[in-house]
Amino acid sequence: MKNGMLCVISPCLSMGGMENAASVMANFFVKENLDVTIITLFNRPHFYKLDDRIKVIDPPGDRSKGDKLWYYIKTVFFLRKNIKEVSPERVFSYGDWTNILVLMACIGLEAKVFISDRASPDLKFQWHVRFLRRILYPRAQGILAQTERAAQQKYKMLGKGINLKVIPNPVKPVQLYPEIERKNYILGVGRHWHVKGLDRLIEAFALLNENHNYKLLIAGSRGPATAELVRIIERYNLKPEEIFLEKVTEMDKLYAEFKIFVLPSRSEGFPNALIESMAAGLACISFNCSAGPREIITNGEDGILVENGNVLELAKQIKYLIDNDSEIERLGRNALKIRERLSLEKIGKQYLEFILS
């Protein structure tokens, strides 16, 4: 469908995995000659670079303040108004709550709505969210799942009659910087939220004996878990200012400086930070949470999977890499193959076939 109208809806365009995915795909769609508009639910600073041809509509003011129910009602009307004005042929929505609001807003409109949850399929929602998902999700023209585990959760919730396709996230084009020398750095990436498990990474790093010269650095915006992370860091006589990286604008250059990446999340949907770190050639270790890492890493070949929650084993595997430069190089070299396996061109074509069919 050349020059088709497509509306991509994301909570916002600030730094985050869902926002990253929305931005990457919007850029791909516009390069495939689609007329793309992004509508966000929160008016927050834009972190990701977008093609100049993409129109962005942010809500007026900060809709996150005040009564939640009133916020949701206002957001539905905001979405409906702007979707009607844009008049897209397709709407593609990212995120569990976002999907509910978008499907409400599109009742009676002609646009075909496609949705994609981003949270772990094991996440337990409140009863009213579960009820709304069961009622509204069948209204979607199609549902995109990131993993087979997520697909099975959708079939269990909605039955086998839904139009569902499993398509993993593409890895964004990660620029390599061979001129930058990798340092003895361990990288963690994630917002300061409990689910991201950064406390587990800090504890694993603290369990390493002092007979090493590696540093731990964590990139990600502050959040509800920041105070607890600071307490843990100080408990182990470490310094927060030496671990937390402030706002990072060039992630590709950051990846190029590191040797090891660790994903300590308690749960994931499909972790962009992991696939980007692999695409940058880092040796990656990840907790084997219920969905995501096991679809990405072949254990021992292009990364290391650790039993979810086993901090002692995580520390052991980090120490193993610290003591074996050749293993860091082997895993990093094999990890680079993800650039082809999850290339934007390959995954993007699957998106187009599904959304435009």
What is the pLDDT at residue 64? 59
Regarding whether 200 and 144 lie in a shared domain, the answer is no
Q: pLDDT grade, residue 137 (50/70/90)?
A: very high
- Do 68 and 159 lie in one domain? The reply is yes
For residue 2, pLDDT over 50 is answered with no
Beta-carbon contacts of 174 under 8 Å, excluding residues fewer than 6 positions away, are: 252, 255, 276, 279, 280, 339
Question: Percentage of residues in the chain with pLDDT exceeding 70?
Answer: 98
Q: Report the SS3 class of residue 3.
A: coil
Q: Tell me the average pLDDT across 255-268.
A: 96
Q: 158 in a domain, yes or no? A: yes
Q: Are residues 223 and 246 in the same domain?
A: yes
Residue 226 and residue 298 in one domain: yes
**Interval 104-135: pLDDT, tens:** 999 999 999 999 998 888 788 888 888 999 99
Beta-carbon contacts of 105 under 8 Å, excluding residues fewer than 6 positions away, are 76, 77, 79, 80, 83
Match 């995120």 to its residue by tokens. Answer: 95
Averaged pLDDT, 222-233: 94
In a domain, 347, yes or no: yes
Residue whose tokens read 């990288």: 187
Same domain, 227 and 153: no
Question: Quick one: 65 and 127 in the same domain?
Answer: yes
In a domain, 109, yes or no: yes
Whole-number pLDDT of residue 70: 84
* DSSP one-letter code for 299: B
Q: 166 and 198 share a domain?
A: no
Instruction: Convert the pLDDT of each residue in 23-79 to its tens digit.
Output: 999 999 999 999 999 999 999 889 888 999 999 999 987 665 667 788 889 999 999
Catalogue the E-assigned strands of 240-303: 244-245, 260-263, 283-287
159 shares a domain with 206: no
**What is the total count of domains within the chain?**
2
Question: 86 with 114, same domain?
Answer: yes
Closest-CA residue to 217 (of 177, 182, 170, 172): 182
Beta strands in the chain (DSSP E): 5-10, 35-40, 55-57, 90-94, 112-116, 142-145, 164-166, 185-189, 215-219, 244-245, 260-263, 283-287, 304-306
Instruction: Report percent pLDDT > 90 for the chain.
Output: 78
pLDDT band for position 308 (cuts 50, 70, 90): very high
pLDDT in tens, 140-189: 999 999 999 999 999 999 999 999 999 999 998 899 999 999 999 999 99
What CATH number is given to the structural domain containing 30? 3.40.50.2000
pLDDT in tens, 276-286: 999 999 999 99
Radius of gyration (C-alpha) of the chain in whole angstroms: 21
Do the domain assignments include residue 177?
no
CA–CA distance, 64 with 183 (Å, rounded to integer): 40
Q: Which residue has the tokens 């090493």?
A: 212
With respect to residue 272, please indicate whether it lies within any of the assigned structural domains: yes
Enter the tokens of residue 291: 């969905």
Q: d(Cα 51, Cα 246) in Å, to the nearest integer?
A: 26
Does the residue 23 lie in any domain?
yes
Most confident of 3-7, 16-20, 81-85, 221-225: 81-85
Quickly state the pLDDT bin for 3 (edges 50, 70, 90): very low
In a domain, 96, yes or no: yes
- Residues 216, 143, single domain; the answer is no
Residue 14 maps to a domain: yes
CA distance 162 to 334: 37
Q: Which residue range forms the structural domain that includes residue 233?
A: 185-341
